[in-house]
Every structure is written in structure tokens, then in C-alpha cells.
Amino acid sequence: MAVLEDGQRIRSNLITSQTDVHRRYGGVVPELASRKHLEALNPMLQMAMEEAGVSYCDLDVVAVTHGPGLIGAVLVGVAVAKTLAACLGLPLLGVNHLEGHLYSPFLENPELEYPLLALLVSGGHTQLVHLPCAGRYQVMGATRDDAAGEAFDKVAKLLELGYPGGPVVDKLATQGNAKAVAFPRPMLDNGYEFSFSGLKTAVRNQVEREPLAVEDLCASFQAAVVEVLVTKMERAADELGVENVVVAGGVACNSGLRRALEEMCLRRGFRLAIPSPRLCTDNAAMIARAGWELYRLGVRSPLDLDAYASMPLKDRI
Ligand code: KG4
Ligand code: ZN
């Protein structure tokens, strides 16, 4: 739950995590997730308003994620947003969760310019998206199977490192040898699509074949993911002739990915914007930012706005 002023100033951005609830199941349990959302939302709303130091009559627009995601949880958020918009007589804006990630780099880099190329890497998605201008999304390629974050989570599970896996693998990787195992670089020379499920299997096979230090396995796995992501990003920027590149989504927290992208962009003279880690992982400020962007484009959502489990990126103009 966040309050954003003029699309830029984050007056509050509260995150409540359910990780502890789901950890013992090794992943998110949908029914538990929506119940926890229901319990958390009203107190969070009040806290976000208090922290922002604003009252309800100061608000101009209500933006909400209406997909893609676990439908029960998304529905809870949509119901709260509709109620707010209806009671306060404010415009409602249904935001695609991916749009939130795409605009998140603008929160800390207001001078960012279009056209830009975005690498969106989260637990559910891996996409290279070209934004010729605000509100237009050209998906250059996406994953054919597992998302990058999902691969991190599955490898962590395999190595019994707990859930969510990304941050642990990242940390262990810093202490390991990235050249210990030459894991495959799936589809490296092949267009803009990704595939990470084979890589996960390669890690499993390696573990079954010979025991290696977990740090080395993490470092080698992470190096494979990072090389694929950075290589495709560079190639896409080249083909498009784009100089502004951004990375968003939970996996954009990854220290190896951040470093490799910084190096590539420095070498190639691209301008790179990566949000701070707290704005990479799911948060409401990014949804507010996307809502603000859409509002300026003239987009409005009806009060019977629906929630969607899956939802492709669609052009807004
Ligand atoms: O964007 P996000 O918060 O939620 C989704 O929309 O999916 O991304 C969560 C994903 C998880 O898979 C998590 O393991 C991964 O981001 N992640 C990381 C790191 N921090 C979070 N993956 C690699 N390295 C990290 N440091
Ligand atoms: Zn996300």
C-alpha cells in the first residue's frame, strides 16, 4: 500500500510479507495468501495514509493491480480499491502488475527517456520489453517455461536452501567459484526467448552426479542465468538502437546481474537504471507510478473492473 505524490515522491510505501506463512510449504499457498491479504489490507491502508500524512480528501486517483497473479489475492485488492474510488468519487485505474515493474525505474530516475528497453525478471515472468513511448509495450521475447526467479527458487529448493530462493542463492554465489561447473546457457544465440527449466535440471543432474560445495553450485548456476539475460539484453538494445535500458522485478535485486549489467552498459555506452532492491521486488509505489503514467495518458477503468489470473501486456495508446 503506497501513497505517491505527483508520480515521483513516495510519501509511504508499505510492504507486508507473508513469507513466514508460506515458508513451511516451500511455496505460496493460494488460499492462505488471499486470507492474509484480507486481514492485512485495511490496517495497511490506514498505516499508509498516516505515514504519508495525508487524508482521504487529498487523494486524486486510486490505482490497483488487477492481474496477473493469484486470483484470490488480486480480487481482494481490487475490491478495496473499488470501494475507495466509489466512496471518494475518484477515478479508478486498473494496472497490469507487469506495468508496475516496467515503470518502477522511473521512481528514482525521473529523467529517464524513451525509447527504452526493459528486462523484466520476477518470480512469475521473464520478458524483454521495448517501450517506444509511455503506454506502448513491444514484447521482444519471454520465457518458454520457468521464469528467472522461479529458476532461482527451484534451484534453492533442490539445494535445500529454503524459500524464497533468490536472495540465498545470490548470497552463497558471492562465496563460490562461478567456473566450477559449466552449466548450459539456454538459447543464448537464439532470438529473445528464454528457457530456464533445463538449467534447473542440469543443476539437479550435477548434484546427483558428484557432491560439490553449495557455494560453487550457486555461483555457477547464477553465472549461467546472468550471462543469458545480459547477452540478450545487449543484443536487443543493439537491434533496436535503444540507449536507455532498465531492469525490474525481484531478480533485479541479484548482485551478480546488477554488476554484469553495469559492466555491459558501461562498455556499450547505454544508460542503465536499476531500482533500489526495495523497489525491484513487489511493492505498491510501482503500481502507483504506473497508475499515474496511465492517468496522464487518459486511461480510466470502470467500477466493474475485473481481476485476472493471467494478463498479457497491452498497449494503452
Ligand atoms: O517481482 P517479485 O517480487 O514478485 C513477482 O512478481 O514474482 O519477484 C520475486 C522473485 C522470487 O523468485 C525471488 O527468488 C527473486 O525474485 N529474487 C531474487 C533475488 N531477490 C529476489 N532472485 C535472485 N537474486 C536475488 N537477490
Ligand atoms: Zn512482481
Average the pLDDT over 84-97 and give the result.
98
pLDDT of residue 86: 98
Taking the CA of 150 as reference, the closest ligand is: 1
For residues 107-117, average pLDDT: 97
For residue 296, how far is its CA from the centre of ligand 1 (angstroms)?
Answer: 30
pLDDT digits (tens, 9 = 90+) for 125-171: 999 999 999 999 999 999 999 999 999 999 999 999 988 899 999 99
pLDDT higher for 22 or 249?
249
> Residue 197: exposed, middle, or buried by beta-carbon count in 10 A (0-12, 13-18, 19+)?
middle
Query: Given ligand 1 and candidates 15, 22, 253, which is best to mutate, with the most ligand atoms within 8 Å of its CB?
Result: 253
What is d(CA 172, CA 289) in angstroms, rounded to the nearest whole number? 33
Asked if pLDDT for residue 190 goes beyond 90, the answer is: no
pLDDT of 25 higher than 90:
no
pLDDT score, position 239:
96
How, if at all, do strands 116-121 and 244-248 pair? parallel
pLDDT at 97 over 90: yes
Q: Which pLDDT belongs to residue 55?
A: 98
Share of residues in the chain with pLDDT > 70 (%): 100
Phi-psi region of 300 (alpha: psi -120 to 50; beta: other; left: phi over 0): beta
Q: 292: Cβ–Cβ under 8 A, 6 or more apart, which residues?
A: 4, 6, 7, 61, 63
- Residue 211 — very low, low, confident or very high, per pLDDT cuts 50/70/90? confident
Any atom of ligand 1 within 6 Å of the Cβ of 244: no
- Buried b / exposed e over 103-132, threshold 16 CB at 10 Å, is bbbbbebeeeeeebbbbbbbbbbbbbbbbe
Ligand 1 contacts CB of residue 283 (under 6 A): no
Q: How many percent of the chain have pLDDT more than 90?
A: 94
Mean pLDDT (whole number) for 189-193: 93
With a 6 Å cutoff on the Cβ, whether 167 touches ligand 1 is yes
Q: Is any ligand 1 atom within 6 A of the Cβ of residue 252?
A: no
* Three-class SS state of 305: coil
Residues 269-284 have pLDDT tens digits of 999 999 999 999 999 9
**Stretch among 22-31, 114-123, 256-265, 270-279 having the lowest mean pLDDT:** 22-31
Q: Is 122 in the pocket of ligand 1 (CB under 6 A)?
A: yes
Give the model's pLDDT for residue 264. Answer: 98
- Is residue 316's pLDDT more than 90? yes
* Per-residue pLDDT tens digits for 171-187: 999 999 999 999 999 99
Instruction: Find the Cα–Cα–Cα–Cα dihedral 46, 47, 49, 50, rounded to 10°.
Output: 110
Q: Does the CB atom of residue 282 touch ligand 1 within 6 A? A: yes
Strands 9-13 and 62-65: unpaired
Q: Is the pLDDT of residue 24 over 90?
A: no
Most confident of 17-21, 25-29, 60-64: 60-64
The packing angle between helices 197-209 and 148-158, to 10°, is 20
User: Mean of the per-residue pLDDT values for the chain?
Assistant: 96
**Rounded Cα–Cα distance for residues 176 and 219 (Å):** 5
Model pLDDT, residue 164: 84
Q: Rounded to an integer, what distance in angstroms lies between the CA atom of residue 258 and that of residue 260?
A: 6
Of 162-171, 178-187, 213-222, 233-242, least confident by mean pLDDT is: 162-171
Q: Is the CB of 216 under 6 A from ligand 1?
A: no
- For residue 147, the ligand closest to its alpha carbon is 1
Question: Other CB atoms closer than 10 Å to residue 32's CB: what's the count?
Answer: 15
Q: Pull the grid cell for residue 218.
A: 550457486
Q: Which of 276, 233, 229, 234 is nearest to 257 (CA)?
A: 229
- The alpha carbon torsion through 122, 124, 128, 132 (nearest 10 deg) reads -90
Question: Which residue's alpha carbon is at the smallest distance from atom 3 of ligand 1?
Answer: 281
Q: State residue 10's pLDDT score.
A: 98
Q: Residue 139 CB: number of other CB atoms within 10 A?
A: 14
Closest ligand to residue 249's CA: 1
What's the predicted TM-score (pTM) here? Answer: 0.96
Position 28 pLDDT exceeds 90: no
Least Cα distance to 121 among 7, 8, 270, 261 occurs for 261
Mutate which of 152, 153, 171 for ligand 1 pocket (most atoms within 8 A of beta carbon) = 152
